[in-house]
Amino acid sequence: MSTAAALRGFSASTDKNVLKHYMSLDQPDDKVMCEYLWIDGTGEGIRSKCRTLDFEPQKPEDCPVWNYDGSSTYQAEGSNSDMYIYPRAIFRDPFRRGKNKLVLCEVFKYNNQPADTNNRMTCAKAMEAAKDSHPWFGIEQEYTLLDFDGYPFGWPKNGYPGPQGPYYCGVGANKVYGRDIVEAHYRACLYAGVKVAGCNAEVMPGQWEFQVGPCEGIEMGDHLWIGRYLLYRVAEDFGVNATLDPKPMEGDWNGAGAHCNYSTLPMRQSGGIKEIETAIDKLSKNHVRHIRAYDPKEGKDNARRLTGLHETSSIHDFSAGIANRGASIRIPRQVAEEGHGYLEDRRPSSNCDPYTVTEVIVQTTVLDK
Strand order in the sheet with 66-69: 46-53, 32-39, 101-108, 82-92, 66-69
Residues ≥6 apart with Cβ < 8 Å to 281: none
Cβ closest to ligand ADP, residue 162 vs residue 198: 198
- Which listed range, 58-66, 237-245, 286-294, 339-347, lies at the site for ligand ADP (CB under 6 A)? 339-347
**Binding partner selected for residue 356 from ligand ADP, Mn ion, none, CB under the kind-specific 5 to 8 Å limit:** none
Shortest gap between Cβ of 207 and Mn ion (angstroms)?
Answer: 9
Position 110: which residue type? Y
Regarding 209 and contact with Mn ion (CB under 5 A), the answer is yes
Q: What's the CA gap between 344 and 342, in Å, rounded?
A: 7
Regarding 134 and contact with ligand ADP (CB under 6 A), the answer is no
Regarding 140 and contact with Mn ion (CB under 5 A), the answer is yes
Q: In this chain, which of 141, 254, 261, 313 binds ligand ADP, going by CB under 6 A?
A: 261
**Cβ 318 vs Cβ 324: under 8 Å:** no
- Which listed range, 42-50, 146-154, 169-177, 260-268, lies at the site for ligand ADP (CB under 6 A)? 260-268
Is the torsion defined by CA of 18, 24, 26, 32 positive or negative? positive
Shortest gap between Cβ of 202 and ligand ADP (angstroms)?
Answer: 10
Residues numbered 14 to 73 that lie near ligand ADP (CB under 6 A) are none
Element (H, E) at 125: helix 120-129
Regarding 275 and contact with Mn ion (CB under 5 A), the answer is no
Regarding 345 and contact with Mn ion (CB under 5 A), the answer is no
**Cβ 256 vs Cβ 169: under 8 Å:** no
Q: In this chain, which of 8, 268, 282, 287 binds ligand ADP, going by CB under 6 A?
A: 268
List residues bridging with 185 in a β-sheet.
none
Residues numbered 175 to 214 that lie near ligand ADP (CB under 6 A) are 197-198, 211, 213-214
Q: In this chain, which of 101, 120, 228, 259 binds ligand ADP, going by CB under 6 A?
A: 259
Regarding 40 and contact with Mn ion (CB under 5 A), the answer is no
Is the torsion defined by CA of 352, 356, 360, 366 positive or negative? positive
Inter-helix orientation angle 219-237/179-192, to 10°: 140
**Binding partner selected for residue 219 from ligand ADP, Mn ion, none, CB under the kind-specific 5 to 8 Å limit:** none
Regarding 259 and contact with Mn ion (CB under 5 A), the answer is yes
Range list of β-strands (E), 179-298 = 196-201, 207-216, 241-243, 260-263
Regarding 295 and contact with ligand ADP (CB under 6 A), the answer is no
- 3 state DSSP class of 53: strand
Task: Enumerate binding residues for ligand ADP (CB under 6 A).
Answer: 136-138, 140, 197-198, 211, 213-214, 259, 261-263, 268, 341-342, 344
Task: Enumerate binding residues for Mn ion (CB under 5 A).
Answer: 140, 209, 259
